[in-house]
Structure 1
């Protein structure tokens, strides 16, 4: 084929041996018979070359050989198979009939980053690495860095918020004890570990791991780009050229190449972050095997298709959990992941305390503190329970802690849909985590670290999380720490500083004694003494047809005035987290809603739900007769 010949090679190919008869290499013999070279040259130039498709200095000429059969035509009793003219794609060898379709086909390859040909023997010029900057950290990325299937070093700019949240959690842990050994088990470009080492410096000992050799090479180059020393296999690699300009930097990052399960089984860490592409359940057992007491394990799950109930069979396979699509599906996803974490920790005789759970569009982030011992493990395992969900009104409640068989499980639900609706109205979901999703004190300290390091994009989310953890509105948000002793103020935020008297009795280089550890565990348990309302209601989901519902912030005030705890939630911009039952939620919503069309209300009464009591005041329409009908 002449698909990969440029114009000079094309002319040379047909000009040689002009005295001999030559057939056309792109036409069958019955279509174009062998002829002299000058006639063949004119044929190729006027037909094949004229309507060819150009790509990176090469031309794909039209081909008339029997490479592609068109659909047979039935004429009478005979079947004719016609040979169709076509083009051969130089990248994927596909055959395309039309020239315009061929141009579009090549453009799609270019948009996907597929520019390397299978048939060009000469190596394509290697594109230079692109350098990206995030949080004062420079990283080189390979081409197609945003597509994990096509690159060895995956980098997703949309996960910047996730990286900042993890950094704040690590910064809080670094204030509790120094130095701490932290592991980024799936380094890719090494951006996360580089941010840890660059900003926290001597407070952390960073280890970046990846099982891919190309990714490890990229991580080493990024360390040198950020003027960091690299330690490989307990040997420091000093690169004076990488430091450049005579600057001295004692920061050292250890880069390892092994499976994540292997390194977590071999070594102990204070902080472990798991961010595989997809689910992280395959690495939970090894993560909790050697993590130190009161250490932190954070994991990012990006298998949102299964967690958000789009692929329910995958959720059952990975997490052993039965789920359906609900109005609170994002919080359901977070509780699914935490339940898997709690079971994995319990198998290693460790309990967990959930510090943070965030579920956004692209990921689910869970941060837990590890509490060593069989008693915390038993307490955590008891919080993994099943959920009863009503499919009519979407009311929900966790099953009671009992091993006895319930005669009528529907009576646990606050609603009466089972009595008024035919058939089975509820499903059992889970097992799920039934405990709290946030630690208020830890979130406040994360907010302080975000202010201190200038992470402006993270601060609004952390303020929302603090309000959600305290179940209060942003209007009543207070920057004061709940602790009374050892408080320190900076940028308007109060935090609790470590107790120096307790630290003075600890020898340098050794861990706290058992008494200090027990006191810390008791202090953490007291942070979550108040029961946190589980799940939330979407105000649009429960709005009344034909009525204008009140503004969300005003509706929160109405619920608060009625004596209920209430807050907004980051899981849903129109969600309301409250301890009010759904019946009271609807009652207050209808009470403060106004009719959409005043004139239309006079034609008939407003049909309210059964949850609305007759004694509640409902705003009447402008017409007095319509108002009389409502009472």
Structure 2
């Protein structure tokens, strides 16, 4: 009998860790007491050799776990066997309670009627000492609550918790097997290892998935893991891992919702490539490498792309995606220089990409770059100092922040911890988030004796993107530091203004606010927010060049957004216009610096190994013109819905912009809020014009426009007084709205 059992043992497979090997015992009739798949050490047969007369068996083969035959129809029987604790459905697990060992083939013929026969049965995954035989309904409840609910799901199978003595028993010093208390454990469907805790089992299976080792020897070949999915974006193919859109379940995260972010950064790099070539570009957090692949594939020899990631699986995936897009992966500089000469005949190579595996801070300290993009998980403040340490003069740093919970004032303590800012939830919270990030970037640049010029800042639903140009020198750093100020915000009417420059303590800071809330409301009505970036958030010239590049490369998705940014930077209502190449290609001015954009422009005109070269550039930077305050767009915006009056139909947004413009104010829409209005008009005038061109709701669709009234001046004065006293809390706003409605009724004849 022992010889027969030894002949049918499965050959042991090569495993890096010691796991319990599955054995297939010979089907022999067994009494009811032999329900467990292998006898316990105390119940060893008498014919078994003692440790003194024969060598002890190997620890991995000491016990033989029970096997399930539900995959007996698979082509390879040895490949399809698995432990009985691994089932597809709960009904399959219930059927095992009515099958004796060696007669598992009859489990498929059992139905629900046989399960309710009333005979007492034992749990197939628990020894009789732990769970006694009981009726079918109690057994079903036991299997569902104590085995099925705590199972681990993988590719349609459930790895249920097992209490059988399946784990190997290690012998003691003299070779005797010691009976130990067996705890609950799981059987891995991939490598047959036994894992005690469910969290450890989840991590164990996740490591198999990340390594691609999901083809189990217990599952038929038809149920093997499908290959990685290949996605396409902007004519670039990228291979993604399973669960690529869930960062907690994959190493290489790919978010399709960040397509606008990638296209904005691509247009930024394309516009920079017109100034000087070639550019040293870095994608510090590559993940799948989609962003760096787009740079190298569409810009070609104008850029030298480096994609970095600390995760080994991500680096491997980046290299595979490079080969998928016919891009060569280089390891060192010598290989990069000789790459153009070693192309095989007929081979198409679109460019070279250098893939590195190191910490982003270390890489940015070791090498100099012209363009750096930071897109870490969460906040990026931990990498700003390294980014500005070796960035070249007139280079560009783009920062994508996805910690919107802190930036959008949902976790204010986190914003204070990461950015050192005091913020609250306001109607202009998205622009507030953009100015917080710019202020953090400006402080990091100033610590490295560098200044910044903000090219544009975008705050959408999922991210905040800030792109700045680096200006070397302590003078630029000092001017940048002066633009970081505190903001005075009224909590009642949400009027706001940046605090005046100076170190002297002001006796009454409420005088700086245009509203009169402090005089009409008791207590303290305003708070101090910041520090924030107080200067412009957009560069009109650079945005127009980005729009031209988006048209040149056929990026239709972001053209509307870039046009909105251009109108917002100029603070003008939207109008029709045509986009052409710059009329003077040889000379453009940005921030007082004249830059060349012709094709023969080289890096020598700007930089030499990260240092400024030539007296002409130094003189131009020293004599650059100061930005005119009147040309900058007004800070922040008002939401027209938030300030609408109850019982009044407000005018259309486009018409309201015309009304504000006719009143002599600068006005434009904003990408931060679809119903936001960026204007230099005070809130009092904003509400006055909004009320003037609103119509009562009960007039039955009266045409929009000014409501004629005999007592117009008197009503207007009353409205102005009510707007001045508009600083009421949320509980008192209803009273003011009722007063405005009564005033509007007074205007009717």
Structure 1 CA distance for aligned equivalents of residues 370 and 331 of structure 2:
20
Pairs within 5 Å for 1:534-545: 534-545=635-646
Q: Does 1:128 align with 2:239?
A: no
Residue range with higher mean Cα deviation, 219-228 or 36-45: 36-45
Q: Deviations over 1:503-528 (max 9, x none)?
A: 79959988752313542676685587
2:304 & 2:363 partners in 1: Cα distance?
15
**More moved, 247-256 vs 206-215:** 247-256
Asked if 2 retains the 8 angstrom alpha-carbon contact of 1:473 and 1:568, the reply is yes
Q: How many residues get paired?
A: 563
Please tell me whether residue 289 in structure 1 is matched to residue 350 in structure 2: no
Kept after mapping to 2: 8 A contact 1:51/1:62: no
SS of 2:248's partner is: helix
Deviates more, 1:362-371 or 1:35-44: 35-44
2:686 to 582, 585, 588: 585
Distance 1:517 1:68, change over 3 A: farther
Give how far 1:228 is off.
1.1
Equivalent position to 2:533, from 418, 424, 433: 433
Partners of 1:440 and 1:497 lie apart in 2 by 17
**Hey, what does 2:31 align to over in structure 1?**
20
Q: Which structure has the larger Rg?
A: 2
Residue in 2 aligned with 1:359?
459
Relative to structure 1, is the Cα distance of residues 609 and 233 closer, same or farther in structure 2, using a 3 angstrom cutoff?
A: same
Superposed CA offset, 1:95-146 (max 9, x none): 89xxxxxxxxxxxx99xx9898999974873431111111111111111111
Does structure 2 retain, via aligned residues, the 8 Å contact 1:441–1:481? no
Residue by residue over 1:595-616, the C-alpha shift from the partner in whole angstroms, topping out at 9 and shown as x without a partner, is: 0113999xxx999463559xxx
SS in 2 for 1:293: strand
Q: Does the aligned pair in 2 maintain the 1:182–1:205 contact within 8 Å? A: yes
The residue number in structure 2 matching 1:597 is 698
**87-96 or 143-152: which moved more?**
87-96
Matched, 1:314 2:414: yes
Which of 646, 671, 688 matches 1:570?
Answer: 671
Q: Is the 8 A contact 2:283 2:374 kept in 1?
A: yes
**For residues 505 and 587 of structure 1, do their structure 2 counterparts lie closer, same or farther at Cα, with a shift above 3 Å needed?**
same
Distance 2:585 2:25 in 1: 91
CA distance in 2, matches of 1:426, 1:188: 44
Offset of residue 44 of structure 1? 10
SS in 2 for 1:168: helix
Gap runs ≥5 in structure 2: 1-22, 38-95, 117-122, 133-139, 154-158, 163-200, 589-593, 703-714, 725-742
1:551 is aligned to 652
Alignment of 1:75-224 (within 5 A): 84-86=142-144, 87-88=147-148, 89-91=150-152, 122=217, 125-224=224-323
Counterpart position of 1:622: none
Alignment correspondent of 2:562: 462
Partner-residue secondary structure (3-state), 1:333:
helix
Structure 1 residues 228 and 428: CA distance shift in structure 2, 3 A: same
Distance, in Å, in 2 between the alignment partners of 1:215 and 1:120 is 21
Aligned equivalent of 1:228: 327
In 2, distance between residues paired with 1:48 and 1:244? Answer: 67
Residue in structure 1 matched with residue 437 of structure 2 by the alignment: 337
CA contact (8 A) 2:684 2:720 kept: no
> Does residue 404 of structure 1 match 2:500?
no
SS in 2 for 1:246: coil
Displacement of 1:47 after TM fit?
8.0
* Cα pair distance change 1:62/1:552, threshold 3 Å: farther
Give the Cα separation in 1 of the matches to 2:101 and 2:397: 74
Shift of the alpha carbon at 1:150? 1.4
For normalisation by structure 1, the TM-score amounts to 0.78
Which secondary structure state, in structure 2, belongs to the residue aligned with residue 387 of structure 1?
strand
Cα distance per residue 1:154-190 (max 9 Å; x no partner): 1111111100100111111111111111111011111
- Deviation, 1:232, is 1.1
Task: Provide, for residues 201-221 of structure 1, a one-character-per-residue CA deviation record: whole Å limited to 9, x for no partner.
Answer: 111111111111111111111
Secondary structure of residue in 2 paired with 1:454 = coil
Aligned partner of 2:632 in structure 1 is 531
Alignment check: 8 A CA contact 2:452 2:468 kept: yes
| Structure-2-length-normalised TM-score | 0.67
What is the CA–CA distance in structure 2 between the aligned matches of 1:449 and 1:545, rounded to whole Å?
A: 46
Change (3 A) 1:485 1:449: closer
Unpaired stretches in structure 1, ≥5 consecutive residues: 1-11, 27-31, 53-59, 70-81, 97-108, 489-494, 614-624
Relative contact order (C-alpha < 8 Å, sep 6+): which is higher? 2
CA distance in 1, matches of 2:628, 2:580: 15
CA contact (8 A) 1:68 1:83 kept: no
Of 578-587 and 524-533, deviating more is: 524-533
Output aligned runs, 1:23-62, within 5 Å.
23-24=34-35, 46=110
Per-residue deviation, 1:479: 4.5
- State whether residues 22 and 35 of structure 1, in contact with CA within 8 Å, keep that contact through their aligned partners in structure 2: no
User: How big is the shift at 1:33?
Assistant: 12
Deviations 1:52-99 (A, max 9, x none): 9xxxxxxx9897989899xxxxxxxxxxxx984423354166789xxx
Partner of 1:610: 721
Q: 1:334 to 1:62 in 2, by over 3 A?
A: same
For residues 128 and 421 of structure 2, the distance between their equivalents in structure 1, rounded to whole angstroms, comes to 57
- DSSP-derived class of the 1:258 partner: coil
Deviation for aligned residue 1:147? 1.1
Equivalence map 1:238-387=2 (5 Å): 246-249=346-349, 251-387=351-487
Q: Secondary structure at the match of 2:369?
A: coil
The whole-number CA distance in structure 2 between the counterparts of 1:501 and 1:257 is 35
Tell me how far apart the structure 1 counterparts of residues 374 and 152 of structure 2 sit (CA, whole Å).
Answer: 37
Please say if residues 91 and 119 of structure 1, whose CA atoms lie closer than 8 Å, have aligned partners that are also in contact. no
SS of corresponding position for 2:546 = helix
Any idea what SS the aligned residue of 1:378 has? helix
Structure 1 residue 234: Cα displacement = 3.3
- CA distance in structure 1 between the aligned counterparts of 2:635 and 2:436, rounded to whole angstroms: 14
